[in-house]
Structure 1
């Protein structure tokens, strides 16, 4: 079996004192799943690791189960391999390298999304904010940052994300996850 590098993105942990998952306790949980080279990045639920080539969904469910068993609450997890993370970064339709990393965000979805899901949003109503869809990803340009983004708030509405796990990262984190999963 070949080894691959992955990032597990935990949704909604360590936000406002809710669903506290210390990274020092998360690392051994992921190691207990047979993963190696486990590293965490920030306190917002980013963990990278190496593992035998496995199905991303199975890995995500395993991390969810381990977190639930250890902490007693459910957490949604999206797992993506290095090649996918790098492809998302390369396909960014915004000049992310020329902008502060807090102005561009990547949202990772558990399943592919189509433009029809977002057809009810009038992009002109949110200018200069913009979004574009990728494969299982959404790119958001929010020049004022995500915390004050009206478009970001609309894109996060449960009705738009029904049936999906969606978790967002600012561009600084998108880039760092590609670096951490590169094996360099």
Structure 2
């Protein structure tokens, strides 16, 4: 069994696309997954599965959510090893920062630097970003809500054709903990 995190994009925001976490846990269990748990109300679930196909798991969950709740929700599914590797590769000093200052945007496929070429990093200092493996690391010292760089990086021209969802560092760390094999049943 592999431990996975399901990252749902854009649910339970300002009363829109409501997906109660208890119902999400039930849905994942009905899909045959085990060790199902959720974190916060913003679309983070962990589960174990015998499947090794993250894309198939995400597509299955997207279909099930649309059938159950009546609206589409983009989902990414990543295994615990990937989440841990992305966290370990963080180019910013995570231990020295507050969780609200550091974010990871997970992408449904690899993205290259050319996609973000229209964004001049010098225009947004002290905010910074770096690309990783299907991930973008964002340092926003005043938080995501006040980040001009986050707005620039999420422009439709830059995100066209790719599923993306962002988590703050506290959530990143918690999902790594929750998907660690030795923590599967905590």
TM-score range, shorter chain: over 0.9
TM-score between both structures, scaled by the size of structure 1: 0.98
Give distance in 1, aligned partners of 2:84 and 2:156: 27
Please report how far the alpha carbon of residue 54 of structure 1 lies from its aligned counterpart in structure 2 after TM superposition. Answer: 2.1
Please report how far the alpha carbon of residue 156 of structure 1 lies from its aligned counterpart in structure 2 after TM superposition. Answer: 1.1
TM-score between both structures, scaled by the size of structure 2: 0.97
Equivalent runs, 1:46-57 vs 2, <5 Å: 46-57=44-55
Give distance in 2, aligned partners of 1:73 and 1:54: 26
Please report how far the alpha carbon of residue 32 of structure 1 lies from its aligned counterpart in structure 2 after TM superposition. Answer: 1.1
What is the aligned partner in structure 2 of residue 18 from structure 1? 16
Give distance in 1, aligned partners of 2:14 and 2:152: 20
Give distance in 2, aligned partners of 1:53 and 1:86: 19
What is the aligned partner in structure 2 of residue 85 from structure 1? 83
Equivalent runs, 1:27-66 vs 2, <5 Å: 27-66=25-64
Given that residues 65 and 72 in structure 2 are in contact (C-alpha distance below 8 angstroms), is that contact kept between their aligned partners in structure 1?
A: yes
Please report how far the alpha carbon of residue 157 of structure 1 lies from its aligned counterpart in structure 2 after TM superposition. Answer: 1.2
Secondary structure of the 1:14 match is coil
2:143 is the alignment partner of 1:177? no
Secondary structure of the 1:9 match is strand
Q: 1:101 aligns with which of 99, 102, 114?
A: 99
Give distance in 2, aligned partners of 1:163 and 1:138: 16
Secondary structure of the 1:5 match is strand
Give distance in 1, aligned partners of 2:157 and 2:8: 20
Structure 1 alignment gaps of length 5 or more: none
What is the aligned partner in structure 2 of residue 8 from structure 1? 6
Please report how far the alpha carbon of residue 146 of structure 1 lies from its aligned counterpart in structure 2 after TM superposition. Answer: 0.1
Q: 2:121 aligns with which of 105, 120, 123?
A: 123
Which of the two has greater helix per residue? 2
Deviations 1:68-115 (A, max 9, x none): 011000000000001100000000000011100000000000000000
What is the aligned partner in structure 2 of residue 157 from structure 1? 155
Aligned pair count reads 182
The alignment's C-alpha RMSD in Å is 0.6
Give distance in 2, aligned partners of 1:70 and 1:85: 28
Give distance in 2, aligned partners of 1:47 and 1:170: 15
What is the aligned partner in structure 2 of residue 146 from structure 1? 144
Please report how far the alpha carbon of residue 67 of structure 1 lies from its aligned counterpart in structure 2 after TM superposition. Answer: 0.6
